[in-house]
Amino acid sequence: PRFETCWPALMKDSHGVIIIFNPELPSHLREIEMWYSCFVQQQPLLDSQCLLVAHHKPGSAGDMENLSLAYPLNKLKLIHSNLEEDPEDVRMEFIKYFRSIITIINESREREEMSIIS
């Protein structure tokens, strides 16, 4: 919130939003709703252009499977990251996400070109 005046510059022409949070902090679980509202819904971006990353610190005893988020966050792609245990899984999920964003950008560009032609 301290940097709210910078948000329009950050959002300008953005194609995707990655929200990384600590699922063990109740304050983070509340804040991600605000980030989603400001950076995804108000732009507006598609839900498929947003990725949630629940980051588990090394040695944390967080339950990775039973994190249930309320609507509308439960519609978003959620991955768990624990870089000690599964860095390769996280890397593959990021690659999949970036590929999906590139597809969305290309489809949008094609639609624009077709509208100009016709």
pTM over the 0.95 mark: no
> Hunting for tokens 């304050």 — which residue is that?
27
Which tokens belong to 24? Answer: 């063990």
Q: How many helices and strands (H and E) does the chain possess?
A: 3, 3
Region 6-31: mean pLDDT is: 88
* Contact predicate 32/76, CB 8 Å: no
Q: Which residue has the tokens 């959002």?
A: 11
Rg, C-alpha atoms of the chain: 16
Q: For residue range 98-115, what is the model confidence (pLDDT) as tens digits? A: 999 999 999 989 998 888
Q: For residue 5, name the pLDDT band (cuts at 50, 70, 90).
A: confident
pLDDT in tens, 23-57: 988 888 889 999 999 899 988 899 999 999 999 88
Task: State residue 61's pLDDT score.
Answer: 58
